[in-house]
Chain A
Amino acid sequence: MASNKKYWKSVEELKKSSSIVEKLKQNEFVEEIPTDKFLGDKENLTASSTSRRDFLKYLGFSTAVASLAACEGPVIKSIPYVVKPDDVTPGTADFYATTMADGFDFANILVKVREGRPIKIEPNKDVSTGITNARVQASVLSLYDENRLKGPKANGKDTTWKKFDAEVVSKLNEIKNAGGKLVFLTNTCASPSIGKLIKTYGEEFGNVQHVVYDSVSESAALDAMKEMYGVRALPDYDFSKADLIVSIGADFLGDWQGGGFAPGYTKGRVPKDGKMSYHVQIESNMSLTGGNADKRIIVKPSGQINALLKLYKAVVNGISTRESSELNTLIDQIVKAGKRAVVVTGIQDKNAQLLALAINKKLQSEALDTVNTRNVRFGNDAKVKQLIADMNAGKVSALFMSNVNPVYSLPASADFKEALKKVKLSVDFTMSNDETAQVSQYVAAIPHFLESWGDVMIKKGQYSLVQPTIKPLFDTRQFQCSLLKWLGKKETFYDFLKSNWNNNILAGKSWNKALHDGVFTKEFEVPEFTSTVDVNAAAKELASIKGGKLELSVYTKAGLGDGQQANNPWLQELPDPITRTSWDNYLLISRVDAERLGLKNWTVDNGALNGDKVNISANGVSIKDIPVYIQPGQAPGSVALALGYGRTGLQKEMNVGVNAYPFADKFFHDIKIVKSPGEHEFACVQLQHTIMGREGEITRETTLAEYISKPKEEWNPKPVYSLDHQEVTEDKVDLWDKFDDSIGTKFNMSIDLATCTGCAACVVACHAENNVPVVGKHEIRVSRDMHWLRIDRYYSSDMTVEKGKEEGTFGTGEYFDEMTHPSDAPEVSFQPVMCQHCNHAPCETVCPVAATSHGRQGQNMMAYNRCIGTRYCANNCPYKVRRFNWFKYFNNDEFDYNMNNDLGRMVLNPDVVVRSRGVMEKCSLCIQKTQATILTAKKEGRPVRDGEFETACSSACPSNAIVFGDINDKSTEVSKKEEDDRTFRLLEFVGTKPNVFYHLKVKNKKEA
């Protein structure tokens, strides 16, 4: 496509002559083997007590011992069940429908259970809320977390439930008799049964209050909805019904208002009959949504407010100004699109949310749905503030906290901690001994959601059930069970739940069916409501917010989210989709500000990224030694810091980053920033696995205009070769002979770059399915990450260094003139890359032991037990998708992650071998899944149906960007996809004939 476009992954590549980039182009492994360090030291060598002869003796001896020891095999015990449960057949998997609802992520899921162990989470695709993101996928590992609480605690000491109950009940009675107040502080549970339970408490106890608290609050949007539509719930947006999507700082492909908007959004991103949606993102820091946008308008947080005000005035009041041409064009487009437009905003201010709702109301936007509201956030900032005040005033006698961690996540954490001391009885229901548990009198250990019963209403009228998939691993008890017990009720929570459903929800329908489906839908009535809110006054109030010199806003990352699952190594190791950095949070800053403040990022000689550190302060809070990450596309004058990091009391490897919650109370803070001494080491994979300088050719995109008007050959050209001085197509030149693979199944995978949002759910799904090890921060730094599937993020712009020079727009020196630097406003493309399963695979021909070979089903197979670790294959792979096991990553204290303890190993997929040290591994196209599907079909004596073949990534993908299937069967979806005009293969000119193909991204550039 646009041939003058320059793609790059790291700013390093934009430098004129970067030795590191040069080195990486030539070398797969950045670091030379440090033989000199060892052998060069003559003195040390001669002084060594082990001579060469001795060494050979030891070697001989150990070989002999090893081979002798190998003669005697170990005795392996097989222990069957004593009484086998009827529904368990060892060796086969069962799936149970349940629901994840941890207050931050809500999803209807299916849990794969093997021999009684949940090992994998799949989306429940029968439900619209059956969408899994990276955190939902990874939640199964949080079940097997060694760091979990293993029993109840009283005043910091382990106790028994019997004692615990007796003490709490007696204190409760005291408080009740004294007329004290009991407050429930919970996360958004959206659970009808918990609601009923707390109501029962109100009846029994009298003075009871329920305060809902979200660590990442949507209080502003909720309050706005209450004033505008009379319901305190979040509206739903169906972006597939919008031709024009305007987002002002709303990361709706990330976690904005609970997330889950990707399926609707991506539906409009594939050009159909020459049409696709147009997406404008007005934002400060580069978000996932901004990366997917057609147009990004880069403004500071205060600029977002201004933009919203202007949109409001123009669209609702009809007043337009002549200030910014970009905005004025947008306003025209919005007015033109009318009800096919939608405006959303992530500005955490009730007035801003009111304005956005008013705009949509005025437009009669079809995408906005205020009837089928979403219950994923209920938190009320004002009530939480009031609670702290009440606690301080001694008005609260008892506080029950469930699934919240206010000491960590409240901006006013210190106040809360002080106030908690004045509460007579504080009980924390939590899974881990977190910051709040450490200061609570009583800590009730609760089970993981995969061990619990429960119910959730994610969307209005859509009731979901939570069912346990494993017996509780520890001596834990559900919040609900404790409440029932303390009420003196004999019934179990299961009975309570079931009777509540039978009496109030199911209306005669089958409980078992609801449990099987995991969800039950019911019609509901919509009450009439007339709004009396004065939006113009809200606009006036909003306009009074003053901007700052350097504005700090907080955001959540695809990996850690609000930080609940911070002890989950899969999530810690997941590279952020935009910065490609794992195991950290950092202050995102623009190039301009960095230069002004003398802050730098630099790549050290082993390819890893280092950076300066700063101290920041605002609002009376200061945080020290935050690493700085220079983010292309960051608005000058703005910085951003991710939430969810800086937890305490986690395993030491996961204690990374700084806590940004002190800054989460406002949309932005004006901060002071001072460089601090020292440097920070990032675990950033952006320069790793480079493709020998072929980045420019690897990804493809085009504009809608070109896509419609020009022939395919122009925007998606096939490679041509020169043969006998003639230009010929690929099929005329080939190093390898063709082979017949037309019989039976042949797998192909299709990846649509137009619908891939880069959310990284697939990366974690692959981790879980294929027993991919976690290697830790240091190993990531030195390019030894083990992800079988990576999502490359490319920046691009029409501006190149050369072009800039020609046009004379660039200044001198290493960096260039402010606004024309390519990294100031780059476009972003995401590209998931896994093994391409080449039909003519370069890796296969160089393996000296034939450990990697080709199967007729199209899969490039890797026989781990045959591999001797020469790494020739990785060297010869044009896509750099092979991963080498540098170490033994299981049962090794150096890698103290889930594979180093019995509990964490329970998550391993028994159908996939855990690779040992010294072998190469890579994506297998989930051959264990395809083989299982084929076997099921054979057993049932039928052909495989379309859609049955799935890989972990294709099934996890929320936007259906990854489609997998049989290409020999012309009726399958993947076969149809292959015939699409947008189809291309990675580095097609290399002639590898991959079985994975891509669809190029189409950007809707209105101006172009």
Chain B
Amino acid sequence: MQSSTLKRLLTGLSFLFIFSLSLNAQQGNAENGKKLFNTHCAACHKLDKRFVGPPLKGITKTKEREWLHLWIKDNASLIKSGDKEANAIFEEYNKIPMTPFPQLSETDIDDILAYTDDNPVGGANAAVQVDPALAAKGKGLFQTHCAACHKLEGKLVGPGLGNVSDKRSKEWLHAWIKDNAALRSTGDKDAIAIFEEYNKIPMTAFPQLSEEDIDAILAYTTAGMIKPAETTSTEAAEIPVATTKPLSTAWISYTLVLVLFIILLWLLLYSKNGFLKISAVILVLLVSAYVLFDNLMGVGLDQGYQPIQPIAFSHKIHAGDNKIDCEYCHSSAKNSKTSGIPSVNVCMNCHKSISEYTGKVASAEEKAFYDNEIHKIYDAIGWDPEKAAYIENYQVKPIKWNRIHNLPDFVYYNHSQHVTVAGQKCQTCHGPVEEMDEVYQYSPLTMRWCIDCHKETEVDLKGNDYYAKIHEQLAKERGLEKVTIADLGGKECGKCHY
């Protein structure tokens, strides 16, 4: 991953080099023009598409430069002067007058026009100037300082920060990040506007960040926006899975059974040895009784049960890859009888900011699949990921999970007893859940399985004052140091059946 990013960045850098060469030939500074465009024009204009106003790409080719200067500075007077072109545009765009920009200098306008003339659409490659090492450092800083409230794309608590350096000047950003309150108090209009827009929730000040750190963060906000080049090669998917089928041993047993069966048949039909015949019959009866018994004992056993769940929730991704503690979601396991299936609001603790899957995927379809599963949570609770807000008066749709581990009603099982008191790992009974994409019933959950564990597991009598007296009695009077659960009555019927 990293090396490929590096590669892409290097390619990008070489492109930039070629670009910068060609840029120099242009009138005006497209670099500055881009910033100006983003702050002044982008609200109504796009480069390649009609928006509020017309698309501006290559505008100098259709309109005179002088005319453009005039129009931008004060289009109203231009229209009034009876300029045909101006009036035509005015009519075409439903008589919505464009904001005049008298504050823009000639050079500013030239810069903007330079940008509209030959810029790359979408500005994807604008980031190539970013130093990868700096961006990497910035990523770390972003995660620790900013990610609680900001994403690159889309609003969270604060605005999305992708390509923020395109919208604001470096100096402004530095000042804002270090102490936005101070910036606001200077009467900076932009700063106040942002403050108002985000419901007057002030942003944390970061005086501790050095200039270099902020540069790094800004570098990341640009670099992070580079979409991984869409690799058409479905490399991972197309590599034939190198599976060597394990040599099956089943055929040996089948042959054996067949041979035995033939021998038995022969004995019964053709042999004249009475003893052998009787033995054969007894053998057949015994074997069938065993098979029958074995089958009957399996009735109601659901080991390996792996139902398809309404959401393809992967414990592997959550507990395995992201190492989320089991009890973060199953929080009642330590307090209660039930471990608790997390309610949707628990999912939302993280998934407010994680609206798409960013792990390794083999194909775009796979990512889309995961993203869709995440959106099922939003559907349940009524979260609008675009607006980053809960939908008001939303009719919530509870998620109907399929229960996997199901003890009969006549068994009482308490999670907190095993998790809090006994300190058992979840995996003892539930198996390697962190490796399961879809959870299945790992243990048989039979009474024998419970009892076997109760017979073997030693109880740590020390360190829990409840056992202090029992420990004393056992140690002093009986000379016993080690006791199992069964010794303390863990085998009694009524401890689990009531």
Binding site for B on A (CB under 8 A): 67, 70-71, 73, 75-84, 89-92, 742-744, 851, 853, 855-857, 859, 861-866, 911-914, 924, 927-928, 931, 934-935, 937-939, 941-944
Contact = CB atoms under 8 A, between A and B. Distances in A.
B341 A80 contact: yes
Contact of B341 (A78, A89, A863): A78
Contacts of A942: 465-466
A557 B27 CA distance: 104
Contacts of B465: 941-943
B498 A912 contact: yes
Interface string B292-335: 00001001101001010000000000000000000000001001
Interface size class of B (residues with CB under 8 A): 35 or more
A487 B361 CA distance: 65
Contacts of B344: 80-83
Interface in B447-498: 463-470, 473-474, 488-489, 492-495, 497-498
B64 interface: no
Given A82-B343, A942-B466, A855 B398 contact: no
A71 B381 CA distance: 37
Nearest to B333: A91
Given A67-B296, A84-B343, A90 B489 contact: no
Given A77-B403, A744-B489, A861 B494 contact: yes
B409 interface: yes
A83 B494 contact: no
B288 interface: no
Contact of B466 (A83, A931, A941): A941
B48 to A, nearest CB: 43
A943 B341 CA distance: 32
Contacts of B345: 81-84
A927 B494 contact: yes
Given A855-B492, A911-B412, A76 B497 contact: no
Given A79-B399, A744-B470, A941-B464, A91 B332 contact: yes
Contacts of A75: 307, 402-403
A251 to B, nearest CB: 38
Given A856-B492, A927-B494, A943-B465, A79 B340 contact: no
A928 B412 contact: yes
Contacts of B464: 938, 941
Q: Which 4 A-B pairs have the closest CB atoms?
A: A861-B494, A91-B336, A91-B337, A84-B343
Contact of A76 (B346, B403, B468, B474): B403
A901 to B, nearest CB: 19
9 contacts: A79-B398, A83-B381, A83-B396, A91-B336, A92-B336, A743-B470, A866-B493, A911-B412, A935-B414
Given A67-B299, A91-B332, A913 B410 contact: yes
Contact of B340 (A80, A861, A914, A934): A80
Interface of A is mostly: loop
Given A71-B299, A939-B420, A942-B466, A90 B497 contact: no
A942 B468 CA distance: 8
A924 B498 contact: yes
B473 A743 contact: yes
B498 A82 contact: no
Given A78-B402, A83-B381, A91-B340, A863 B299 contact: no
Given A83-B345, A928-B412, A744 B488 contact: yes
A298 B464 CA distance: 61
B342 A80 contact: yes
A80 B403 CA distance: 11
Contacts of B426: none
B267 interface: no
Interface of B: 296, 299-300, 302, 305, 307, 332, 335-338, 340-346, 380-381, 396-403, 406, 408-410, 412, 414-417, 420-421, 463-470, 473-474, 488-489, 492-495, 497-498
A924 B494 contact: yes
A938 B401 contact: no
A863 B493 contact: yes
B216 to A, nearest CB: 39
A92 B337 contact: yes
B343 A863 contact: no
A90 B340 contact: yes
A943 B421 contact: no
Nearest to B489: A856
A91 B417 CA distance: 13
Given A911-B337, A934-B466, 4 more contacts: A76-B402, A78-B402, A92-B335, A931-B412
B493 to A, nearest CB: 4
A711 B51 CA distance: 108
A574 B111 CA distance: 94
A863 B412 CA distance: 12
Contacts of B467: 938
A92 B494 contact: no
Contacts of A82: 343-345, 380-381, 396-399
A598 B410 CA distance: 53
Contacts of B495: 855, 931
A935 B498 contact: no
Contacts of A939: 416, 420-421
Contacts of A77: 400-403
A857 B495 CA distance: 10
Contacts of B307: 75
A914 B410 CA distance: 8
Nearest to A860: B494
Contacts of B469: 943
Contacts of B302: 73
Contact of B497 (A70, A80, A863): A863
Contacts of B398: 79-82
Contacts of A928: 412, 498
B487 to A, nearest CB: 9
B399 A80 contact: yes
Contacts of B488: 744
Contacts of A913: 409-410, 497-498
Contacts of B498: 861, 911-913, 924, 927-928, 931
Contacts of B473: 742-743
A135 B341 CA distance: 37
A970 B343 CA distance: 46
Contacts of A80: 340-344, 398-399, 401
B489 A857 contact: yes
B399 A76 contact: no
Given A89-B340, A943-B466, A853 B493 contact: yes
Nearest to A85: B343
Contacts of B380: 82
Of B401, B465, B469, B493, most A-chain CB atoms within 10 Å: B493
Contact of A83 (B300, B343, B399, B468): B343
A945 to B, nearest CB: 11
Given A80-B343, A80-B398, A865 B332 contact: no
